[in-house]
């Protein structure tokens, strides 16, 4: 897509700016700088995981009621759902490398504050700020990685990026457990601050890239990004991508919230239940590297939708495959859905957004994810409590399949419209 009136893009030293002839500027980076970008991509999920691991333990140490602990954990996602789009607008204005560094610096300082406080309410305030800071760094690095490499290489690049994020989620639990045991719950947050500080260094080492900017007074030039996000959401391609990214997080959060508990209460040891969960990341990590090949099997929405449908199938059959080794079939199906879909979704948002609005597009994606993360466990929990986990997972999987079907129908209508000639508003 082109952005009329966008100023020329001047690449920073060491980065080569080119165009594919469609107005879609892209930046070539050397393998070393790409590796740094992949490493930076491990920050957000792994940091969120270790903070989420430590917060309940620290809050419980401070005699916090369980109900308030749940609110404490969810507070970060609530803020992230609101701040994702402004983070994208800021990224578009000052550059993804700067926003990533800013986010990691804030995460470092806020983690130190968590280590010092002995008040639940201070923990809550810091957690709110931490949700915004972590989200800013995640939006920034997504924007960074989807603006490097030729458009034909984006799925391969985002596949490697997805591989790195999954590796981060595999390593993080191995680090925070011993840190909590050796340092204690409060001092473990200083270790978390050290992790964030490491990524500050990675961010400073990233090669700055220059993004296309929206023309002044255009629909993509709003300061906070909400107006730009609104106009993007009117386009059919972004609508399809938002539906699919919502589905991805919808069934992920439902499964991860209730299936481990179901296994343990059914008699499986915590150790083996943990191996089921970790094996999904292992599968997703390997499968992510095949996303480039998978993308050649069909259109982006069709392949992403098919992989997500497989993931939803894993959710539906989970309660019926709880014995070892059959339970690891769930990990295989679930890992395929997670591993293939992320690279394709990143590429879809990048390709459907105007060059001057990709930062906002990544904010839209992240906001959709956060809404799904908030809604899915709550609604699924109510259904599971009423009808049991088998029917509850079936209902949740059914919702996922219906949404996938809706996205595919919208995609097919869009393709037919493009073949027929000029498109109507909202169908582009």
Domain CATH code at residue 20: 1.20.1250.20
* Structure confidence at residue 70 (pLDDT): 64
Number of Cβ within a 10 Å radius of residue 4: 10
Instruction: Report the phi/psi class of residue 82: left, alpha or beta, with left for phi > 0 and alpha for psi in -120 to 50.
Output: alpha
Number of Cβ within a 10 Å radius of residue 324: 11
Instruction: Report the phi/psi class of residue 235: left, alpha or beta, with left for phi > 0 and alpha for psi in -120 to 50.
Output: beta
Residue 426 resides in a domain: no
Ranges of H-type helices in 26-65: 31-40, 43-61
* Structure confidence at residue 25 (pLDDT): 52
Residue 341 resides in a domain: yes
* Cα separation, 114 vs 125, whole angstroms: 10
List, in sequence order, every residue forming a beta bridge with 127; answer none if it has no partner.
Answer: none
Residue where one domain finishes, among candidates 211, 237, 264: 211
Residues 148 and 57 in one domain: yes
Written as six digits, the tokens of 140 are 């920034």
Residue 222 resides in a domain: no
Residue 362 resides in a domain: yes
List, in sequence order, every residue forming a beta bridge with 25; answer none if it has no partner.
Answer: 19
* Structure confidence at residue 76 (pLDDT): 75
- Angle (CA) 30-32-37 rounded to 5° is 95
* Cα separation, 171 vs 174, whole angstroms: 5
H or E stretch including 277?
A: helix 270-288
* Structure confidence at residue 362 (pLDDT): 77
Residues with Cβ within 8 Å of 67's Cβ and at least 6 positions away in sequence, in order, are: none
Written as six digits, the tokens of 274 are 């943990």
Do residues 397 and 247 lie in contact, with contact meaning Cβ atoms separated by under 8 Å? Answer: no
Residue 157 resides in a domain: yes
Residues 175 and 285 in one domain: no
* Structure confidence at residue 115 (pLDDT): 92
Residues 70 and 33 in one domain: yes
Low-confidence residues of the chain: pLDDT under 70: 1-27, 66-67, 70, 74, 212-225, 257, 261, 270, 274, 355-356, 421-428
Radius of gyration of the chain (CA): 21
Cα dist from 249 to 243, 245, 300, whole Å: 10, 7, 18
Residues 194 and 245 in one domain: no
Number of Cβ within a 10 Å radius of residue 112: 18
Residue in this structure with the two tokens 């014995």, named with its chain if needed: 323
Burial class for 127, CB neighbours closer than 10 Å (0-12, 13-18, 19+):
buried
* Structure confidence at residue 223 (pLDDT): 53
Residues with Cβ within 8 Å of 395's Cβ and at least 6 positions away in sequence, in order, are: 380, 383, 387
Q: What is the total count of domains within the chain?
A: 2
* Structure confidence at residue 213 (pLDDT): 60
Do residues 404 and 308 lie in contact, with contact meaning Cβ atoms separated by under 8 Å? Answer: yes
Residue 2 resides in a domain: no
Model-wide pTM > 0.85? no
Q: Which among 202, 247, 243 is positioned nearest to 41, based on CA atoms?
A: 202
Residues 28 and 143 in one domain: yes
Residue where one domain finishes, among candidates 211, 241, 261: 211
Residue 65 resides in a domain: yes
Cα dist from 261 to 20, 233, 386, 387, whole Å: 50, 37, 17, 16
Do residues 357 and 92 lie in contact, with contact meaning Cβ atoms separated by under 8 Å? Answer: yes
For 139-188, the DSSP string reads HHHHHHHTTBS-GGGHHHHHHHHHHHHHHHHHHHHHHHHHHHHHH-TTTH
Residues 70 and 122 in one domain: yes
Ranges of H-type helices in 184-269: 188-205, 226-233, 236-265
Residues 361-420 have pLDDT tens digits of: 777 887 788 788 777 777 877 788 788 888 988 999 999 999 999 999 999 888 887 777
H or E stretch including 109?
A: helix 96-116
Residues 284 and 143 in one domain: no
Residues 332 and 416 in one domain: yes
Residues 179 and 260 in one domain: no
Residue where one domain finishes, among candidates 211, 236, 267: 211
Residues 296 and 195 in one domain: no
Written as six digits, the tokens of 136 are 């800013």
Residue 7 resides in a domain: no
Which residue range is the domain that position 335 belongs to?
227-420
Residues 177 and 278 in one domain: no
Residues 179 and 240 in one domain: no
* Cα separation, 101 vs 182, whole angstroms: 29
Residues 68-125 have pLDDT tens digits of: 776 777 677 778 878 888 888 888 888 899 999 999 999 999 999 999 988 889 999 9
């Amino acid at each position: 897509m082109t952005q009329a009136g966008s100023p020329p893009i001047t690449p920073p030293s060491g980065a080569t700016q080119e165009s594919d002839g469609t107005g879609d500027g892209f930046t070539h980076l050397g393998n070393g700088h790409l590796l740094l970008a992949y490493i930076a991509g491990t920050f957000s999920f792994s940091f969120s995981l270790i903070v989420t691991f430590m917060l309940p333990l620290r809050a419980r140490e401070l005699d916090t009621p369980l109900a308030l602990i749940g609110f404490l954990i969810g507070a970060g996602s609530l803020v992230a759902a609101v701040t994702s789009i402004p983070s994208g607008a800021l990224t578009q204005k000052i550059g993804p490398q700067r926003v990533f560094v800013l986010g990691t610096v804030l995460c470092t300082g806020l983690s130190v504050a968590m280590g010092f406080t002995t008040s639940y309410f201070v923990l809550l305030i810091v957690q709110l700020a931490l949700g915004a800071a972590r989200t800013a760094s995640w939006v920034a690095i997504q924007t960074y990685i989807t603006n490097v490499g030729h458009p034909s290489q984006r799925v391969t690049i985002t596949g490697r990026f997805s591989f790195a994020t999954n590796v981060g989620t595999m390593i993080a639990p191995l680090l925070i457990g011993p840190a909590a045991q050796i340092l204690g719950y409060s001092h473990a947050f200083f270790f978390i601050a050290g992790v964030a500080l490491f990524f500050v260094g990675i961010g400073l080492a990233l090669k700055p890239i220059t993004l296309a900017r929206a023309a002044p007074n255009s629909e993509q030039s709003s300061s906070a990004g909400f107006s730009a996000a609104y106009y993007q959401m009117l386009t059919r391609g972004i609508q399809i991508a938002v539906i699919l990214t919502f589905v991805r997080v919808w069934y992920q959060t439902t499964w991860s919230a209730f299936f481990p508990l179901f296994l343990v209460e059914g008699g499986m040891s915590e150790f083996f239940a943990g191996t089921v969960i970790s094996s999904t990341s292992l599968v997703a990590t390997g499968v992510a590297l095949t996303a480039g090949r998978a993308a050649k099997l069909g259109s982006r929405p069709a392949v992403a939708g098919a992989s997500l449908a497989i993931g939803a199938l894993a959710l539906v059959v989970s309660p019926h495959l709880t014995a070892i080794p059959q339970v690891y079939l769930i990990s295989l199906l679930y890992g395929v859905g997670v591993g293939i879909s992320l690279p394709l979704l990143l590429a879809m948002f990048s390709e459907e957004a105007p060059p001057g609005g990709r930062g906002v597009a990544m904010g839209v994606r992240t906001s959709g994810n956060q809404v799904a993360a908030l809604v899915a466990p709550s609604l699924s929990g109510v259904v599971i409590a009423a009808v049991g986990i088998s029917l509850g997972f079936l209902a949740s999987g059914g919702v996922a399949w219906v949404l996938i079907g809706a996205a595919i129908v919208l995609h097919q209508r869009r393709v037919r419209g493009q073949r027929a000639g000029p498109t109507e508003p909202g169908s582009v």
